[in-house]
Structure 1
Amino acid sequence: MHRPRISAVALAAAALVAATGAAGPSPKPTPTATPTATPSSTPSASPTQSDGTLQILTYRGYAEYGGTSPRANWAGPFEKETGCRVARLDTVGTPEEMAARLRERSYDVISAGPALAAAMIAAKQVQPIDTAKIEDYDDLAEPLRELMTDPKTDTVHGVPFLWGSHEFLYDSRRVGGGDLAQVLGAARVMLKDSPLTLADAALADDAVERPFELTAAQLDEAAERLAGHDDRTYWTNGLDLVKGFATGSVDYAQATPYYRLLLGKAKIPVKAVKTRRTTGWVDSWMLAANVTDTNCAYRWLSRMTKSGSQRDAAAWLGLAPANPQACKGRAREVCTAYGVTTKSYRLDHIAFAVRPPGDCLPPDGECTEYNAWTERWRELLK
C-alpha cells in the first residue's frame, strides 16, 4: 500500500510549481532522520537477551527522532523515558523492500501492512501479542483491532498504528465525475502501482462485498476492467500524482484523502468520485517470534499506541491514526480529510485489506492467493 511520506509542504509546492509552469527542480522525498542516539550499522551482540536494546524495521517516517523537523519527534524521548536503547533502526520505502530486509536479518519489532503481516503470521515469524501489556490499547478503534485478531482464537498479532483509505479524484474543470465503472474505463486515469488496486476495480461490481477475497472469476473480471488502456499511467510517488493534476495530464487518479487536501490547498479543484464503498489498509506494529525478553518491545508498542505519538505521525505522514483521541491539534486536519474526529469514527464504508480466512483459500475455499494477484498485475503492466 502507498504511504505518503512526502511532506505536505513539498507536495503543495510541487503542485503550485507545476500549475504555474515555474522552472525548478522537482522536490525530493523528505529524508528520514537519524535517531539522536544513532543506531549501530550492525546488530547488538545479543539483541533479544535482556540487554535493553531494540532492533526496529519500519517505513520511512514512522519513527521520527526530530532530525528532519523538530515537529516530527515522537520516537526520540523513548530511550530517555524507558531506559531502552534503539540499537538499530532500519527504514524502507515499500513492502517489497521490507520483505527483503526480513530475509536478510531478524528484528524485534516491525511495522507491516496487511499483505506482509499475513505472510509473517503464516510463516510464524511473529508471536502473539499480550494486549494487557500495552498501555492505551483499548483506545484504538475496535474495527482496526479486530483486523489484527484471529476471530477463531482471539489471538492478536499486531497493534494498529496508522491507516489509509482510497478514493478516486477527478479534475472538476475537465470532467464531471461519474461512477467507479466509468472512471476505470477512462483513458486519462492514474492508478496506484499495486496488485491490491485490483480490489478497487472489483468494487465496480455491486455484487462484490469482500474485494480482498476474490474468486478466480472475480479476479479475472477486475483485471479485465483495467485492461486495454496502453496510455494509462501508474504512480508510486505522490509527486507524480500531484503533478498529473497540476499539469492537466490526468482527469482521474486513485489517491487518498490526504492528496485531496493538498491539491485543494494548491487551488487545484479536485473532487472525490462518490462510491458505495472504498478500500483501505492498516499498518500495524508486530512482535518478532525470536524475541525472548519482550520488555523493551512492549514499551515501544505502548508508546506507538499513545495518542501523542499517533497524532504526530498522522500529521507528518498524511495518514489517519488508529487512536481516535489523536485527532486533535496538528492532526485534526488530516483526520477530517479521512472523515474521522474524536467523536465520530465511521469505518463501515471501508473494505480494509485483510488476509482471507482459512476456509476461503484453496484447497477448500475459492479465494485466490496473493501471488495470483501479483501475476495478474504484472500482466496488466506489460
Structure 2
Amino acid sequence: MKRRRTSAMALAVAALVTGTGATAPTPTPRPTPTATQMDGTLQILTYRGYAEYGGVSPKANWVGSFEKETGCRLARLDAVDTPADLAARATTGDYDVITAGPTLAADLIARKQVQPIDPAKVGGYDDLSGRFRDMAKVSGKVYGVPYLWGYHEFVYDLGKVKGESLGQAFDSDRIALRDNPLTIADAALADTTVKDPYELSEEQFERAVTLLEQRKGRTYWKKPIELVKGFATGTLDYAEATPYYRLLLQKAGLPVKTVPTTARTGWLDSWMLGANLPDTTCAYRWLTWMTASGAQRDA
C-alpha cells in the first residue's frame, strides 16, 4: 500500500507541475519602470494560465494575438500561483490591470487602488451573465469585468471513510481546509438550516467559526501540493478542494470521491483597472479582448 501511494504521489505531483505551469515560466517582456498606458503599453498582474504568451505551448498565446490585433503592448506581465501572492503584489499599486477574486477586489476598492469601469467601453460586456456582472458592482458602480469562476467541493478517501456529509468532514481531525475566508461559508453549509452561506446571521456565523476552531490540529492549505501529499501519504481523510484537484488525484490512482452536498461555495475572478491609469485606451481593449469567447475558451 505504501509503495502504491508513493507512486500515486509521484504521478499527481508530475501532473500538478504540468497543470500549474510550474515548468519553464511563460516569457514576458522585460518590465519597463516608466511604462504607462500613454505609450500604448500595459502592466498586468494575474494568475498563471490566465494570460499566456506562448512560453508553455505555442498554441497558448492569446496575449500575442492581442498585441498584434490592437497595437497595444504588454510591457509587464506578472503571473502568480496563489491568491496570497496576488494580494501581496496587487497592493503596490504598480499595475494597470489586475485579476482579482471577491476578497481582494473588496480590499482594492476600499483602498481606492482600482477605478470604476465604464461597461459601455467593454465589447461583449452585456453578453456576460447578469449574475456575474452584478458580483463586480459596488454602490451601483462597475469595478470588475467577470473572467473565470470556480467552486469548492469536499473530497474524501474512499478507502478510509464513508464521507456521507459535510458534518462528518468537519468533525474529522484529518481534514485539510483551504486557507481562505470562503472556508467560513463552507463551514456554514455543514449546518443544514443555512440557506445562503454568504448571508449569515450572527448566530450562524458564530457556529461556523466555532466549527472551524474546535479542532486545533487541522491543516490549512495554501498550495495544492499539500493536498496531493496528504492523500498520497495517507495522512488525510478529507479535504476542501476544487474539481481540478479531485480529478488530478483520481488520475493518479488515489481513491477519492466527492462528499455529497446540496450547495457549494464558489468565487469569481474579474479584471480590474488600476486607479493610477492615465489613459485607459489599451486597458479597455484588453478587457474587451479577454471578454471574448476565444480568450475565455483558451484560458
Q: What residue number does 1:138 align with?
A: 126
Q: Which blocks of at least 5 consecutive residues in structure 2 are unaligned?
A: none
Q: What residue number does 2:34 align with?
A: 43
Partner SS for 2:117: coil
Large movers: runs of 4+ above 6 Å:
none
Q: What residue number does 1:67 align with?
A: 55
For 2:164 and 2:8, how far apart are their aligned partners in 1?
28
Conserved 8 A contact 2:9-2:252 = no
Tell me which of 67, 82, 87 is aligned to 1:94. 82
1:120-159 deviations in Å (ceiling 9; x for gaps): 2223322222222222223322221121124x53x21111
Counterpart of 2:230, as a letter, is: G
Greater relative contact order (CA < 8 Å, ≥ 6 in sequence): 2
Question: How far did residue 41 of structure 1 move?
Answer: 4.9
Structure 1 273/21 Cα, relative in aligned 2: closer, same or farther at 3 Å?
closer
Percentage of pairs with the same residue:
56
1:179-223 deviations in Å (ceiling 9; x for gaps): 111110112111112232111101112333332344554333212
Q: What residue number does 1:361 align with?
A: none
Tell me which of 27, 31, 37 is aligned to 1:34. 27
Conserved 8 A contact 2:185-2:198 = yes
Question: How far did residue 276 of structure 1 move?
Answer: 1.9
For 2:165 and 2:100, how far apart are their aligned partners in 1?
32
1:10-42 deviations in Å (ceiling 9; x for gaps): xxxxxx87345779x97756153023xx13252
Partner SS for 1:278: coil
Partner SS for 2:108: helix
For 2:290 and 2:153, how far apart are their aligned partners in 1?
27
Structure 1 41/290 Cα, relative in aligned 2: closer, same or farther at 3 Å?
closer
Q: What residue number does 2:45 align with?
A: 57
Partner SS for 1:163: strand
Q: What residue number does 2:163 align with?
A: 177
- What are the residue-to-residue correspondences of 1:242-257 with 2, within 5 Å? 242-257=228-243
1:230-253 deviations in Å (ceiling 9; x for gaps): 442222221221232233221111
For 1:234 and 1:222, how far apart are their aligned partners in 2?
16
Tell me which of 98, 113, 126 is aligned to 1:110. 98
Tell me which of 197, 206, 212 is aligned to 1:211. 197
Counterpart of 1:122, as a letter, is: A
Question: How far did residue 284 of structure 1 move?
Answer: 0.3
Q: What residue number does 2:284 align with?
A: 298
Conserved 8 A contact 2:8-2:252 = no
For 2:196 and 2:34, how far apart are their aligned partners in 1?
42
- What are the residue-to-residue correspondences of 1:192-341 with 2, within 5 Å? 192-313=178-299
Counterpart of 2:61, as a letter, is: N
Question: How far did residue 165 of structure 1 move?
Answer: 0.3
For 1:104 and 1:294, how far apart are their aligned partners in 2?
19
Q: Which blocks of at least 5 consecutive residues in structure 1 are unaligned?
A: 1-15, 314-382
Q: Compute the TM-score of the two structures, normalised by the length of structure 2.
A: 0.87
Conserved 8 A contact 1:43-1:88 = no
1:321-373 deviations in Å (ceiling 9; x for gaps): xxxxxxxxxxxxxxxxxxxxxxxxxxxxxxxxxxxxxxxxxxxxxxxxxxxxx
Q: What residue number does 1:162 align with?
A: 148
For 2:83 and 2:242, how far apart are their aligned partners in 1?
18
Conserved 8 A contact 2:189-2:197 = yes
- Considering fraction of residues, name the structure with more strand: 2
Counterpart of 1:193, as a letter, is: D
Partner SS for 1:187: coil
Structure 1 179/311 Cα, relative in aligned 2: closer, same or farther at 3 Å?
same
Question: How far did residue 229 of structure 1 move?
Answer: 2.7
For 1:293 and 1:105, how far apart are their aligned partners in 2?
16
For 2:9 and 2:282, how far apart are their aligned partners in 1?
51
Question: How far did residue 58 of structure 1 move?
Answer: 1.5
Counterpart of 2:226, as a letter, is: D
For 1:70 and 1:223, how far apart are their aligned partners in 2?
46
Conserved 8 A contact 2:5-2:254 = no
Question: How far did residue 92 of structure 1 move?
Answer: 3.0
Conserved 8 A contact 2:9-2:228 = no
For 1:279 and 1:55, how far apart are their aligned partners in 2?
31
Q: Compute the TM-score of the two structures, normalised by the length of structure 1.
A: 0.69
Conserved 8 A contact 2:66-2:289 = yes
